[in-house]
Amino acid sequence: MSRNASMTEPRLAPNAITVLERRYLKRDKDGNVLETPASMFRRVASAIAEADGIFDPGADTKKTEDRFYNMMTSLEFMPNSPTLMNAGRELGQLSACFVLPVGDSMEEIFDAVKYTALIHKSGGGTGFSFSRLRPARDVVKSTTGVSSGPISFMRVFDVATETIKQGGTRRGANMGILRVDHPDIMDFIMCKADKRQLNNFNISVGVTEAFMEAVKKDEDYELVNPRNGEVTGVLNARKVFARIVHQAWENGEPGIIFLDRLNRDNPTPHVGVIESTNPCGEQPLLPYESCNLGSINLGMMVKNGAIDWKRLGETVHLAVHFLDNVVEVNRYPLEQIARMTMGNRKIGLGVMGWADMLILLGIPYDTDEAVELGGKVMKFISDVGREASRKLAETRGPFPNFPGSVFEERGEPPIRNATVTTIAPTGTISIIADASSGVEPLFAVSYVRQVMDNDILVEVHPIFERMARERGFYSPELMQLIARHGSLREIEDVPPDIKRLFVTAHDISPEMHIRMQAAFQEYTDNAVSKTVNFANGAAEDDVRTVYELAWKLGCKGVTIYRDGSRERQVLSTGRTPESEERSAEGVRRVKRERPKVLKGWTYQMQTGCGPLYITINEDESGLFELFTTMGKAGGCAASQCEAIGRMVSLAWRSGIHARQVIRQLQGISCHSPAGFGDNKVLSCADAVAKAIQAHMSANGYGSVREERALLRGACPDCGGIVEHEGGCAVCRACGYTECS
């Protein structure tokens, strides 16, 4: 069916509908959903098509609207989340990625904090380089005092981010980058060793080519004070690199960004220098620049066991048209951002469903054939995407900063967009499209989803389920067994050729992860967001090898995650160690042992049964146990409160999220409530929930911080499995994500 012929009704998976209803569809002031998925896609298509009329008053915008609508409802292409959420609505902010400058003065720093608040309020995420800030203990002439350094100011941004509410649809996320030659680099590398710090930040070290050469030769390199350009000391490059590797092995951060490579591919060096990226690292941007992203679903580009190159090419052309229109109709949160973005008109067309495409073609992900094909597919998308952008330039003109750009210097034809391609972590849009994420392999063939009435559902990859039924080895029991393992590696009842085809992230060697990233990076204007997964038992040398290989193969950055390295991870795939317990749902619970000494706080709550004293104790990992004491000794209320305390303690020690505990207890009412308004306590159980909330607020947890801490392993909303991709994490069971 031609996109121009008739309208496509979206055929969405149950998970896709759930995600749309929870996070995307328009609601009234009472939270009632006002639109269907089809009407959401129509709203977006109509708003984006209107840009055609700006360039050609006689344009048939209805025809363009229909083409955009069919492209999305057929699940061939999805724009980034802010476009789906906000196009055609009052907010109208359609960008996901922003970079803000942080200058070396109090005024510039707090201007950046204010701008961050405005961007996060509008639904975007922000990247910063803190490399311009003078180091800690450096002189401040205006006050004759000393500087507190970049890390202390990062905490200001972190607290501001945690405070900002984004209308319940998207939470703020930040990228913090510091150059490897900044005098505070060692403190920066260690700044997230304390897992209570900077939880609204991903951090990456800005690595230079000179530093990597010094690592290779085991040489020292110079540290430079950005205030005056003076050398303040030297460090051994190999020792600094070893510290980066150790911390990444320890908890996944910092990542590394190859700054010189970002600027090597900077299309407008005459406009500015690239210092930072967006929160997941795939979009290098100039200060005050934003970018609009979208992804083509490669799984939809296979026909009769072969790639449908014609369909792919048509989709690329239409997607570039769509994204250029987004640049035009976007309502930018700051005038500086509007000016910079419109000057370069960067777009980032990427892909999702790469693992699905390989499966449909019968090619295992971890093969030379797959790597070679990845480069071929991305080269095709890049070539056709630039062709589409140049075609737009013929009627709409090139991007305003084209004079003086690298394109003009090379004598190339005018082009509409300074960059065309980016491979982003597709997160929730891949759930909507029922596709694998970005260029990642499958994280699991089957997984468990817990729905609101606590029923346990087993979700199976649709292609695997179809093949299992066709080959005659499908059974609900087998699907549950696979969900508990995630991988097919140790499942005896699955044929060997199917096992080989459906390899998962932890079946694939870290080197193959990097080779695949490099294959796509070669033909991507911006960068490739991808996570290199390591088994829990991986050594630091394994991480070092991958970092060095990423540099050698031309990647622009690298993010790694070692399974279980975040201490609060409570769910993973693979074999369960002897010391751990696995529930019937396949969730791995590790009960923490009680240390001899704990710190605690006691809260008095007034209930209908009298005063209730609630003591909350913490260990190094966070909330650990809860005790209750009734002001009136004995009785039914006291015994019930003691039981609640025991169960809450067991839940916390076993890795259950505090938010889940609060959700179960709050709002329970009894015959004798106490208090009025916001201070009203409905029951003893409600009092316990309110005390936990008060404790979390008073001790710097905050909803975002606490959610992020647990998100490393199991989803705090549904308990589902969490996938790590490109420095972010997403639950495919319900769409929860830690990044904006």
Task: Kindly list the catalytic residues.
Answer: 278, 280, 282
| Cβ density class 444-462: b for 16+ within 10 Å, e for less | bbbbbbbeeeeebebbbbe
Q: Is 464 exposed, middle or buried (0-12, 13-18, 19+ CB in 10 A)?
A: buried
Interatomic CA distance for residues 713 and 719, integer angstroms: 9
Other C-beta atoms lying within 10 Å of the C-beta of residue 504: 23
Side chain identity, residue 227:
R
Residue corresponding to tokens 């990233």: 517
Residue 326, CA atoms < 13 Å, CB-side half-sphere: 32
For residue 677, the 8-state DSSP code is G
Q: Within 13 Å and on the Cβ side, how many CA atoms surround 360?
A: 22
Q: How many CA atoms lie within 13 A of 494 on its CB side?
A: 22
CA distance 594 to 545: 38
551 phi, psi to nearest 5 deg: -65, -45
Contact 658, 623 (CB under 8 A): yes
Q: Specify the pairing of strand 125-129 against strand 174-179.
A: parallel
Q: How far apart are CA 645 and CA 626, in angstroms?
A: 5
- Confirm if 682 and 669 have CB atoms less than 8 A apart: yes
Q: List the alpha helices (DSSP H) in 274-367.
A: 309-329, 335-344, 354-361
Which among 423, 433, 321, 425 has a CA at the least distance from the CA of 378?
423
